[in-house]
Structure formats: C-alpha cells, structure tokens
Amino acid sequence: MSPPVVSVLLPARNAAATVERAARSILAQRLDRLELLAIDDGSTDGTGEVLRQVAASDGRVRVLQGGGRGLVEALNFGLGQAQAPYVARMDADDESLPERLSLSVAALEAEPSLGAVGTQVEIFREDRPVSPNMKKYEGWLNSLTTPERLFRERFVESPLCHPSATVRREALGAVGGWEEGPFAEDYQLWLKLLHAGYRLKAVAPVLFRWRDGEVRLTRTDPRYALERSLFLKARFLAKGLASERRRIAVWGAGRTGLSLTRFLRAEGVEVSLLVEVSPKKVGQRIDGIPVVAPDAPPERSAFHLVAAVGALGAREEIRAFLAQRGWVEGEDFTCAA
C-alpha cells in the first residue's frame, strides 16, 4: 500500500452520537491516500467502541488512546504517530465535504510558502438557527482566501477554522506544534506560523461544516475568553513592533483597547498615546497615557497605531478614516479588534 499523503488527527471525548459521521466524512474524501488517527481521549460513553467499529471496516483508521489528557496532548500524541507530510485536523462533531483534503493538499503543493490552509466553512446547528454573530464570523473567515488578506486580519480574530485546517508537518515541527497554555491553542499556532514567515489562507469553496453549540470549547473554556485572546495578540504584536522606530498609539480606551494596552506594556511595548471618541475620556490620562480625539490624531511619521475597538463596524470606520489621511495598513497601523 502507498504511504499516506495526509494524516488526519481526530481527537474525541464522549462524542458517541456524532463521531462516526465525522470519521466517515474523512473516509469518503476524494483523496484516498490518507490515514485517520482517531484519538479516544478518555471517553466514558461509547465513543471508543464506535471508533473501533469504524476501524474494523476500513484499514486506513487507527484508534489511539489519549488517556484523557486534553486536546493539546491528544493532538501532539497523534502527531507523533502520523506518517504523512501533511497533517489535517478533524473534530468529532463536524463534517468534511468530499473535496476538502484534495483541494487543501493541492493548495499547499501549489504554494510552497503556505504553512497551512483552512477552508471556507458553513457553521451549523441542529437545534436552532446560527446566531447573527456566528454568521458574521463565518463570513469573515470565508473572506480570508489570500495570504495577504489573512495576514492583514491576523490580529482581529483567529483566522482559520482549526478543525478544517491542513498543515505541513515540517512547519508544525519548526514552530513546536501545539502548545498547552492559558490561551487558545489554535490561534497561538496560527500566530506562531505567521511570525515564523509561513503564509496561511482559506481554500474555497465551502468544504467544511462546523458545528456550533452550547458546549463547544470556544464557549466553555476560559482559554478562549476575550482577555486570553488579547493576551495572545499582545504577545505577537510585541514581536512585530520590536523593530518599530516610531512610538506606539492605541485607538480605543474601552475594555478591548485598555486591556490590549496593558498586555502590550507587560510585553515591554511602551504605549505613548490613546485615541478615543468618547468626550468624557478625551483630555484625560488613563494609566498615565494621554487620551486624544480622532480629529487630533497622532502624526503618521511619529507613531504606529494599533486599532483596538471592538464595537460593531468600528474596524472598517477606522480603516476608512486613516486611509483618507494617507495611513497605510500594515505599515502605519494594525487592526487588532
């Protein structure tokens, strides 16, 4: 038998109701040179038995015991068992459409600078309609189909749907794989890859059905909370700003902007100015930093500005405002919310 092109890592814990559908969607891929490494991570329901039945019907499946050590440990354990040059993710309650892996591998082989790709996604629920906020996130994710667009947006949100992703194994090794910590392991991986010089993008069309629900980790695990995301953004923003000769300004003196400012300062970045629309804050000092209004913005030659306003529509308004004044995104300012 030819060696696999893709090793698919499918960690599962207490997912007996959905894991067979997820696994079968991988086995139905149009790229058949794959192995499915199903990691039973300490399940107490029938997940393990379901996986063993799937493995008995298809020799491309291996069932591994994760021992209940959590998602990151399960992924790295599976990675250690993987045989292919490309490593794909899969979750136990999602569905991959038939061309997901073939188109993802084709994209990676066509562009050697890509470290990983995700795909465009459909977020779905079976109990009620998907919320407007999740539909907005879906639309944003699905817009990141070029490396340039994704790089520009990297500090807005996690820019790839993790379970839709296919990653070069050598790139994973170069950045140390998935890491355990007080942050979202997927967002940290994307930021590590980007910082190391790899490019990322989402592959079109929609090739992945991503389940939303009340018990998904992004809703229940504190590592996915806003403050943890801002901590991660600040850590990697600081790496990029380390060579910046201009002073740093942050647009936003609300919760998002102030939290990011404090995390940046903890990373050794001195924030010299805050920009804020609220007249109650303009002219004040917050944490010792002077606050100015947008109609008196900092000089482009003297400052790099980080836009960190989380209000709906604020990012595009700030982009338009700065562009009209000659500021260039990526050179003069960075959006981080």
Residue 245: inside a domain:
yes
> Are residues 64 and 112 part of one domain?
yes
| CATH number of residue 199's parent domain | 3.90.550.10
Q: According to the model, what pLDDT value does residue 219 have?
A: 57
Please tell me the distance from the alpha carbon of residue 181 to that of residue 337, in angstroms, as a whole number: 22
Evaluate whether residue 208 is within a structural domain: yes
CATH code for the domain of 270: 3.40.50.20
In terms of domains, do 278 and 259 share one? yes
Residues 138 and 47 in one domain: yes
Q: Dump pLDDT digits (tens) for 146-175.
A: 999 999 999 999 999 999 999 999 999 999
Torsions phi, psi of 211, nearest 5?
-75, 135
Q: Give yes or no for a contact between 249 and 280, defined as CB atoms under 8 angstroms apart.
A: no
The whole-number pLDDT of residue 116 equals: 98
Which among 294, 279, 240, 286 is positioned nearest to 261, based on CA atoms? 286
What pLDDT score was predicted for residue 214? 65
Residue 1 inside a domain? The answer is no
Residues facing 202 on adjacent strands: 118
Rounded Cα distance, 13 and 45, in Å: 8
Q: Is residue 276 part of a domain?
A: yes
92 half-sphere exposure, CB direction, 13 A CA radius: 26
SS3 track for the chain:
CCCCCEEEEEEECCCCCCHHHHHHHHHCCCCCCEEEEEEECCCCCCHHHHHHHHHHHCCCEEEEECCCCCHHHHHHHHHHHCCCCEEEECCCCCEECCCHHHHHHHHHHHCCCEEEEEEEEEEECCCCCCCHHHHHHHHHHHCCCCHHHHHHCCCCCCCCCHHHCEEEHHHHHHHCCCCCCCCCHHHHHHHHHHHCCCEEEEEEEEEEEEECCCCCHHHHCHHHCHHHHHHHHHHHHHHHHCCCCCEEEEECCCHHHHHHHHHHHHCCCCEEEEECCCCCCCCCEECCEEEECCCCCCCCCCEEEEECCCCCCHHHHHHHHHHHCCCCECCCEEECC
> Cα–Cα distance between 139 and 128 in angstroms, integer?
19
> Per residue of the chain (337 residues), what is the pLDDT tens digit?
689 999 999 999 999 999 999 999 999 999 989 999 999 999 999 999 999 999 999 999 999 999 999 999 999 999 999 999 999 999 999 999 999 999 999 999 999 999 999 999 999 998 899 999 999 999 999 999 999 999 999 999 999 999 999 999 999 999 999 999 999 999 999 999 999 999 999 999 999 999 997 666 665 667 778 899 999 999 999 999 999 999 999 999 999 999 999 999 999 999 999 999 999 999 999 999 999 999 987 899 999 999 999 898 999 999 999 999 999 999 999 999 9
Neighbouring-strand partners of residue 35? 7
Q: Domain containing 137: what range?
A: 6-224
99, 218: one domain? yes
Same domain, yes or no, for 160 and 93?
yes
Residue 323 lies in a domain: yes
Q: Are residues 154 and 297 in the same domain?
A: no
Domain end residue (candidates: 224, 244, 276) = 224
Query: Which residue among 224, 245, 266 closes a domain?
Result: 224
Residues 50 and 190 in one domain: yes
Q: Give this prediction's pTM.
A: 0.95
Cα dihedral sign, 298-299-304-309 = positive
Number of structural domains the chain divides into? 2
Do 274 and 204 belong to one domain?
A: no
Are 301 and 197 contained in the same domain? no
Q: Which of 299, 302, 303 is nearest to 250 (CA)?
A: 303
Tell me: do 162 and 18 sit in the same domain: yes
Look at residue 223 in the predicted model and tell me its pLDDT: 72
Check whether residue 206 and residue 241 sit in a common domain.
Answer: no
Domain boundary among 199, 224, 249: 224
Is 197 found in the same domain as 96? Answer: yes
